[in-house]
Chain A
């Protein structure tokens, strides 16, 4: 079986100094094994 997750997330950096960038980034690679509760991205 397969799960497909579709979600909205920020794609741009906040330009005001002092603000951390809000861009969403995956921290997985294709082929990785992952478990429930582990971060897909931040």
Chain B
């Protein structure tokens, strides 16, 4: 009876201790994040600082967690309960329910609600022919021009990754041995049968040698990184009138991509599962990389509905080359107008 008495005390004690410890860890993490936020408001750039948690992440079964989350959010919700669930989600993630195209009780599951379309006219497209528009709703994390050797994109101050690793050994952006890209650009190049595989090359070699008397302007390579919160509108639209020639799918991992993750996980955007679309617009090369995350592991392409992402992976990921598909209708690929819907992020 005695030992039984002891163990009945022991269990609640251990449980309480665990809950207290987890609570303390979470409080500490919230304090750290608040500190970071205050520094960002003062304009102080956060620096890259890998921590134990980030390395611990690589041992977690993130893909299984993501797929379970997808199963859970695909479950049908009773019609009477739907508005309450979606209003709770909207409150938690600051979603704008007024813009949803359908009445809330028409979305049968949270996953269906997540990829909701918006009412007509909710997102007017800037029609200026000289401008590039945002393909998604979100927050601008980084942008700029890719210069010099390696063409590196800054993940966060103190850590960068090569654009080639993000896009893959590109058929449109071939690299030289030194990790640079080579240019043979001329305004007159048109896609022909022979040149379809590698007809655009862009030079980042500097100093730029440019004949000032030539009529065509020199071209550079630019990038822009946009982060979508879970409550944002999650469909992806076309940033310009362009022809998509190649689609590349990297299985990769499914680390979270929130602000903390970009600050602590090395090579986040080139480790994670992603779908890269490559093609050409009026000014030359264009590529769009849609990068998944633990809670949003699926990337759906309306232009290729059969593409499956976030599949259970058997072998080790890094060795796997990306799975590539050339869109080849009559050699001009898939033609999209500025603002056309081309895909969506989804949960699980």
Q: Is A35 a contact partner of B123 (Cβ separation < 8 A)?
A: yes
Q: Contacts A8-B284, A9-B222, A11-B218; is A2 near B269 (CB within 8 Å)? A: yes
Chain A at the B interface: SS class: loop
Q: Contacts A3-B138, A28-B143, A39-B128; is A10 near B224 (CB within 8 Å)? A: no
Q: Is A8 a contact partner of B283 (Cβ separation < 8 A)?
A: yes
Interface size on A, residues (CB 8 A): 35
- Least Cβ–Cβ distance between A32 and chain B, in angstroms: 5
Q: Is B217 a contact partner of A3 (Cβ separation < 8 A)?
A: no
- Least Cβ–Cβ distance between B274 and chain A, in angstroms: 9
Q: Is A39 a contact partner of B133 (Cβ separation < 8 A)?
A: yes
Complex Cα spacing A35 to B134, Å: 6
> Which of B126, B133, B141 has the most chain A CB atoms inside 10 A of its CB?
B133
| Per-residue interface assignment for chain A, residues 25 to 37, with 1 indicating a CB less than 8 Å from any chain B CB and 0 otherwise | 0101111111111
Complex Cα spacing A39 to B299, Å: 24
| Per-residue interface assignment for chain A, residues 1 to 24, with 1 indicating a CB less than 8 Å from any chain B CB and 0 otherwise | 111111111111111100000111
Q: Is B257 a contact partner of A1 (Cβ separation < 8 A)?
A: yes
Q: Contacts A1-B296, A31-B139, A36-B123; is A7 near B285 (CB within 8 Å)? A: yes
Q: Is A12 a contact partner of B218 (Cβ separation < 8 A)?
A: yes
* B90 interfacial contact with A, CB 8 Å: no
Q: Contacts A24-B222, A34-B138; is A4 near B133 (CB within 8 Å)? A: no
Binding site for B on A (CB under 8 A): 1-16, 22-24, 26, 28-42
Binding site for A on B (CB under 8 A): 40, 123-126, 128, 130-146, 153, 163, 166-167, 185, 200, 202, 210, 212-213, 215, 217-228, 233-237, 239-240, 257, 269, 281, 283-293, 296, 299, 339, 345
Question: Could you jot down 30 A-B contacts, CB within 8 Å?
Answer: A2-B225, A2-B226, A2-B291, A2-B293, A3-B138, A4-B288, A6-B167, A6-B288, A6-B289, A7-B221, A7-B240, A8-B284, A8-B286, A9-B284, A11-B145, A11-B220, A14-B217, A24-B220, A26-B144, A31-B140, A34-B139, A34-B226, A36-B123, A36-B125, A36-B135, A36-B235, A37-B123, A37-B126, A37-B133, A40-B134
